[in-house]
Structure 1
Amino acid sequence: MNERIVRPATHPDLAVRPLKVSGQLTAGGLLLAGLAWVVRAVWEARLAVAGEPDSGPPDQGNGVHRPLNGLEDSYHFVTSLGGGVTFLCALLFTAWLWRVRDNARALTGQAPKYAGIWVYLGWIVPVVNLWFPRGIVADAHRTTAPGRKLPVSVNVWWGLWLIGMLSGVGLVYDDSTDEIIARAYTEVWPLLASDAAVVGAAVAGAFAVRAVTAVQVERIRQGQGRPAETADLPGKS
């Protein structure tokens, strides 16, 4: 059953935007990004097993870089591909986040707790990026379904995201790819632990997106005067 753009009685001046497809694409993008990070971790483990060549790390210091061997070159490709997938996932997630925020207002007439600009800036402004994105998701869920507990997956997603972001070797880091390769040769376990946090965040994030999407789709259908049909909705856990 397809969703339609409706104007709920609670706030007739605002249109509810279809969300189901956006939620499916976003959840799929998160899982794809998690897979990309699994591949990255596999390559880092391969580098650790192969060991550093006698010629030393790729970045020799003082602006000198030796030619990459085949495994190192393929790691550059893997990280570039993963970066592209992650960027696509970020676009999908941001678009979904904007929709659930606006839909919560349209469905209930309640003003969002966070201004719209924070849908974007909340990820990059220092300090506030530690809680604003989760807060926008939680606020949309609370407003749409008052009295319902926030899905556990939302807190798991955000906790693992913070670990991956703050670990210094995961989502946000200043090291070049060649420097990461050198780390894989000498201290691979912190890299793999950070990768595991990122993968876990991606999987939990997919469940969180599905749960919040399901709540809003249910509310939209109720606003259309139809009974909520949950059999074909994403899971709520």
Structure 2
Amino acid sequence: MSAQQPPITPVNPGPPAPPPAPDGALRPIRGAARCAIAALALATVAWAARAVWHIRLAMAGSPASGPPDQGDGVHRLPTALEDSYHVVSSAGDAATVICAVAFLLWLDRVRDNARALSGTKPRYAYPWLFLGWIVPVMNLWVPRGMVADVHSSVFPDRRLPAVVNWWWGLWLAGLVGGVGLIYADPTDEVIARAYTGVVPLLVADLAIVAAAATAALMTRTLTTAQQQYMDEAPRPAA
């Protein structure tokens, strides 16, 4: 007679293994966000300086020799104040380019992460990351749509942060106020406008300054939310 085998105690499998991390490589975003916020701060200072020079030009008044552009391709020698405005304007343009590059690099990263975290394709294809800002009519809603998609694809149950709408409203105000004033006209024409009617220039300046400051807050808000989600996302066991 064989010895009785002891009963086999089932091994407790323990809690179920956590689901794996989202498919796709997640890209670091903290550094890109810091660069974008710093660039936006630089643009804020640059446009505030431009507004100060617009006020200085308005207070100085047009010289007796008339505006810098005399017509028929004739330009008089600029005054010292006008010369300094050319420097401020060029510095502002350079700051705007730096800001645009840094912001797009950040947006590209958070878009990629949103796709990896949600498993869904972005609402707008990759070329719109650049074309959305320059194609007429489309530039009135595509950039906001791309930013909103970053948030809603990862957090479908959360409301869009109000700072996104504030940023876009101020950006459109600056864009509309700047058409034919700063973006399209040469610097000498802007100087002439400052002499004769500075208020529209100041409205555009202040709207863009506020938009840049709000964009920095928006960048920080969306980055913090996405980074927290990535930090809390379960990882597969080793």
Equivalent residue, structure 1, for 2:164: 154
Give the 3-state SS of the residue equivalent to 2:70 in structure 1.
strand
Q: CA deviation at 1:139?
A: 0.5
Equivalent residue, structure 2, for 1:32: 42
Q: Is 1:135 the equivalent of 2:145?
A: yes
Give the 3-state SS of the residue equivalent to 2:125 in structure 1.
coil
Q: Distance in 1 between matches of 2:20 and 2:129?
A: 26
| TM-score, L = length of structure 2 | 0.87
Kindly provide the CA deviation profile for residues 36-63 of structure 1, in whole angstroms up to 9, marking residues without a partner as x. 0000000010000111000000000000
Kindly provide the CA deviation profile for residues 145-187 of structure 1, in whole angstroms up to 9, marking residues without a partner as x. 2212111111111011111112235886321100000000010
- Give unpaired runs (5+ residues) of structure 2: 1-18
Give the 3-state SS of the residue equivalent to 2:178 in structure 1.
coil
Kindly provide the CA deviation profile for residues 74-114 of structure 1, in whole angstroms up to 9, marking residues without a partner as x. 00000000110110000001111111111001112111111
Q: Distance in 1 between matches of 2:171 and 2:234?
A: 36
Give the 3-state SS of the residue equivalent to 1:167 in structure 2.
helix
Give the 3-state SS of the residue equivalent to 1:55 in structure 2.
coil
What is the count of residue pairs matched by the alignment?
217
Q: CA RMSD in A?
A: 1.5
Q: Distance in 2 between matches of 1:117 and 1:10?
A: 28
- The sequence identity of aligned pairs, in percent, is 54
Equivalent residue, structure 1, for 2:58: 48
Kindly provide the CA deviation profile for residues 107-162 of structure 1, in whole angstroms up to 9, marking residues without a partner as x. 12111111111111111111111011110110110112221211111111101111
Give the 3-state SS of the residue equivalent to 1:146 in structure 2.
coil
Equivalent pair of 1:10/1:106 in contact (CA under 8 Å):
no
Question: Which has the higher Rg, Structure 1 or Structure 2?
Answer: 2
Name the CA shift for 1:224/1:32 in 2 (closer, same or farther; >3 Å).
farther
Q: Is 1:177 the equivalent of 2:197?
A: no
Equivalences for 1:9-24 in 2 at 5 Å? 9=20, 11-12=22-23, 14-24=24-34
Equivalent residue, structure 2, for 1:5: none
For 2:208, the aligned partner's letter is V
Equivalent pair of 1:141/1:150 in contact (CA under 8 Å):
yes
Equivalent pair of 2:29/2:109 in contact (CA under 8 Å):
yes
Equivalent pair of 1:11/1:106 in contact (CA under 8 Å):
yes
Equivalent pair of 1:144/1:215 in contact (CA under 8 Å):
no
Q: Select 2:70's aligned residue among 60, 66, 72.
A: 60
Equivalent pair of 2:167/2:211 in contact (CA under 8 Å):
yes
Q: Is 1:74 the equivalent of 2:91?
A: no
Name the CA shift for 1:59/1:188 in 2 (closer, same or farther; >3 Å).
same
Name the CA shift for 1:114/1:171 in 2 (closer, same or farther; >3 Å).
farther
- Using CA pairs under 8 Å that are at least 6 residues apart, name the structure with larger relative contact order, 1 or 2: 2
Q: Distance in 2 between matches of 1:69 and 1:164?
A: 28
| TM-score, L = length of structure 1 | 0.88
Q: Select 1:208's aligned residue among 218, 222, 227.
A: 218
Q: Distance in 2 between matches of 1:199 and 1:168?
A: 12
- Give unpaired runs (5+ residues) of structure 1: 1-7, 226-237
Equivalent residue, structure 1, for 2:107: 97
Q: Distance in 2 between matches of 1:101 and 1:200?
A: 24
